[in-house]
Structure 1
Amino acid sequence: MDLPTSNTWLTNLHPPVMPPEPSLWPPAPGWWLLAVLLSGLVLIWAVRSWRLWRRDGYRRAALKELGRIRFQLRSDEHRTQALRALPQLLRRTALAASRQSGAADAPTVQPQSLSGSDWWGWLDRHWPEGRFSAGSGERLHRLAYASEAALDELSESLVSELCDRVEGWIRQHRRPELMPC
C-alpha cells in the first residue's frame, strides 16, 4: 500500500472533540460540608463576640467615665471633684462586674459589703497585678475623704499613677465566666 505523499488525507480529518470544561457549580459534596462547617464556626464566633461585647459594656462605660475624670484632672477648678470621683468609679465598676457576672462567690463576698483592707484585698484578688493593698494604690481610699488642701498637695505623677491603676483594674480584672446559653 502506497501512502500518499501529500497531506490531503490530514485535511479531511475533523478536529478532535474536546469534552466541556468541568463546571464549578454545583460543588462536590466535600465543598458543601466545608461550607457548612465554616458557616457554623463563623456563627459561633459572631455569637460569642457579641455576648462578650455586651457583657463588657460596663467596662466601656467605666473607661469612658475615667476619660472624663482624667480630662477634669487637667482643670484646677474640677481637680478636687475628679479626684473624689476616682475611688467611686472603681467601686461602681466592681459592683457592676459582680452583679453582672452572677459569681459563684456572690453570696459570701459582695464588694459592696467590703471596706478598708478587705476591699483593697478583694480588688487585688480580682486583678492579675494586684497592686491596691500596697504602694500608691492604698492612697486611693484617702481621696474620697481627704481635705481639699491634702488633695491639692498630691503630685501629678501620683495622680497619674492612681488613674493608671484604676484603668488597669477596669481593663484587666478577672470575672467568673457566664454560664453558656
Structure 2
Amino acid sequence: MTQNPLDQLLPNHLPDPVSFWPPAPGWWISAIVIIAAITLITLLVVRTLRRNRYRRQARNQAHVIFNAFKQHQDALQFANDCNRLLKQTALHAYSDEQVAPLYGNPWLDFLSRKSGIREFSGKPGQALGEARFQQMPIANQKQEVDVDQLHKLTVSWIRKHHA
C-alpha cells in the first residue's frame, strides 16, 4: 500500500509572537508629530499668556482703583486714576511717541480708535478728557463723572484694545 504523501508533512510551524519593541516606523513618526504638536501648543499658550500679562495686571489695578473710590468717594480722583492707568497700559502696548503727548480730545480719539469703543466721546469718556482740569465745585464733580460707567469703560478698553 502506498503511503499518503500528506502524512510526511511536518506540523505547521507558527512564527514568533510580534514584539512590542521596537515599534514600527509609523509609531515613531506619530510620536514625533504628537510631541511636536504638544510643544508648539505649549509655546503658543505661554507666549500669549506672557504677551497679555500687562492686560491682566491693568484689569486688576482698575478694580483696585474702583475699590479705593468706594472708600474715598472722590470722583475726580477716580477719573484721574483711570486716566493714569489707561495711559500706562497704552504706553506698554504702543510706542511712547504715539501715546505720551496725547491728552484731551486727541487722547479720547486714540482710545476710541484702538479699541473700537465709541463711548469715549460720550459722557463717561469725557471725564478722561479736558473736563478733569476745569474748575468746578466738588458737588458738581460727583454729578459729572459716572463712576460705574467710567470703570466699565476703562476695563473694556484694557480688554479690547488692539496692540
Give ranges in structure 2 of 5+ residues lacking alignment.
Answer: 1-11
CA distance in 1, matches of 2:157, 2:54: 13
For the Cα contact (< 8 Å) 1:84–1:144, is it kept in 2? yes
> Does residue 1:62 correspond to 2:58, yes or no?
yes
1:142 deviation in Å?
5.0
> Does residue 1:123 correspond to 2:111, yes or no?
yes
For the Cα contact (< 8 Å) 2:107–2:129, is it kept in 1? no
Who is 2:141 aligned against?
151
| Count of residue correspondences | 151
* Of 24, 34, 48, the match for 1:38: 34
Who is 2:4 aligned against?
none
1:54 deviation in Å?
1.5
Who is 2:129 aligned against?
141
CA distance in 2, matches of 1:31, 1:116: 63
TM-score where L is the length of structure 2? 0.76
For the Cα contact (< 8 Å) 2:105–2:130, is it kept in 1? no
Cα deviation 1:78-102 (Å, max 9, x = unaligned): 5343332111111111111114xxx
Which of the pair is proportionally richer in helix? 2
Corresponding letter in the other structure for 1:159: V
Give ranges in structure 1 of 5+ residues lacking alignment.
Answer: 1-15, 100-105, 176-181
1:46 deviation in Å?
1.5
Corresponding letter in the other structure for 1:89: L
Q: 1:21 to 1:130 in 2, by over 3 A?
A: farther
Q: 1:174 to 1:93 in 2, by over 3 A?
A: same
Who is 2:9 aligned against?
none
Q: Give aligned-pair identity as a percent.
A: 29
Who is 2:79 aligned against?
83
Cα deviation 1:3-54 (Å, max 9, x = unaligned): xxxxxxxxxxxxx987665443332211211111121121122122222222
**What secondary structure, in the 3-state scheme, does the structure 1 residue paired with 2:129 have?**
helix
Who is 1:4 aligned against?
none
Q: 1:143 to 1:70 in 2, by over 3 A?
A: farther
TM-score where L is the length of structure 1? 0.69
CA distance in 2, matches of 1:49, 1:149: 48
**What secondary structure, in the 3-state scheme, does the structure 2 residue paired with 1:126 have?**
helix
